[in-house]
Copies of this chain bind each other. A is one copy, B any other.
């Protein structure tokens, strides 16, 4: 089983409008609702790949109930912890005239100390059955900034490989607890280390505690710096589309290949192909299986540190 943790889950709404005009009035032509938050997105991709996947984190209020109801129709198993607050909504307004998206994200509900304790107990119960765990996204109000460090230490104590995908101070604190993998993008990596050059920044992040650093470089693919090597995987040219969810699909690819015990070049191939298939999908955050299969053959992996 693969476990994903989303402390700041969301009910994701998508509105289509003919054209977005600030200060105008719009008839929404289509409304889509789906369960959201980074770890939930990762889990949905893992479920679509056929992996037994469990999501935990927090859900509450009417929005949480709608989110859990939608989740119950997917192959992902729900181990979310109830809270008194109302789960946040995120809204993507898609402008049909330009294809561009305007994003509006509600603040997350505050989590109480008792709810955090209930989550730690649930997480501790789930870890022994997990082949891997991913800790994903921002922290909601009320959760201490060292929360991910605490969750990394618990996973390591249970000998479960742990991937951390967050940013800012929670990433800085979490990385010091020595996670197996961190997956920052170029901006997050630069913010953490002060270095803009990805290889240099990734090596710096390893020195801060991460066993392996996988940096997502947008259209340039992904770079992995591991204890034993250095690889960069690049997608075929001309992957144009909606990048929403591409990073979450990459995390799903890394976890999927990890539990399948593939070597690093193959893990990167899977992550880059899933990420590109998500960008190419007409529905934000989804991917097409045939496109993914075709892309798997087109990703190029370069060994940047060949044996001396």
A276 on the interface (CB 8 Å rule)?
A: no
Which of B15, B22, B28, B31 contacts A22, CB < 8 Å? B22
Interface string of A199-226 (1 = CB under 8 A from B): 0000000000000000000000000000
Query: Which bracket fits the contact residues of A?
Result: 20 to 34
What's the Cα separation between A111 and B21 when bound, in Å?
30
Q: Are A28 and B102 in contact (CB under 8 A)?
A: no
Of residues 52 through 80 on chain A, the ones whose CB sits less than 8 Å from some CB of chain B are: 62, 65-66
A20's nearest neighbour on chain B, judged by CB, is B22
What's the Cα separation between A98 and B25 when bound, in Å?
16
Residues of chain B within 8 A (CB-CB) of A27 are: 105, 107
Interface string of A1-42 (1 = CB under 8 A from B): 000000000000001010011111111110100000000000
Of residues 144 through 196 on chain A, the ones whose CB sits less than 8 Å from some CB of chain B are: none
A104 on the interface (CB 8 Å rule)?
A: yes
Q: Are A102 and B23 in contact (CB under 8 A)?
A: yes
A91's nearest neighbour on chain B, judged by CB, is B91
Residues of chain B within 8 A (CB-CB) of A15 are: 104, 106
Residue from the set A95, A101, A106 with the largest chain B CB neighbour count within 10 Å: A106
What's the Cα separation between A31 and B101 when bound, in Å?
21
Residues of chain B within 8 A (CB-CB) of A98 are: 23
What's the Cα separation between A62 and B106 when bound, in Å?
18
Residues of chain B within 8 A (CB-CB) of A29 are: 107
Residues of chain B within 8 A (CB-CB) of A23 are: 95, 98, 100-102
Q: Are B91 and A24 in contact (CB under 8 A)?
A: no
Distance from A240 Cβ to chain B, minimum over Cβ atoms (Å): 16
Interface string of A100-130 (1 = CB under 8 A from B): 1111111100000000000000000000000
17 pairs, A vs B, C-beta closer than 8 Å: A15-B106, A21-B102, A22-B22, A22-B95, A22-B102, A23-B98, A23-B101, A23-B102, A25-B103, A26-B103, A26-B105, A27-B105, A27-B107, A28-B107, A31-B106, A62-B66, A93-B104
B-binding residues in A (CB < 8 A): 15, 17, 20-29, 31, 62, 65-66, 91, 93, 95, 98, 100-107
Q: Which 9 A-B pairs have the closest CB atoms?
A: A25-B103, A23-B100, A28-B106, A62-B66, A26-B104, A31-B106, A20-B22, A22-B102, A23-B102
If A28-B107, A29-B107, A31-B107 are given as contacts, then 10 extra A-B residue pairs at C-beta distance below 8 Å, sorted by A number, are A15-B106, A20-B22, A22-B22, A22-B102, A23-B102, A24-B103, A26-B102, A31-B106, A62-B66, A91-B91
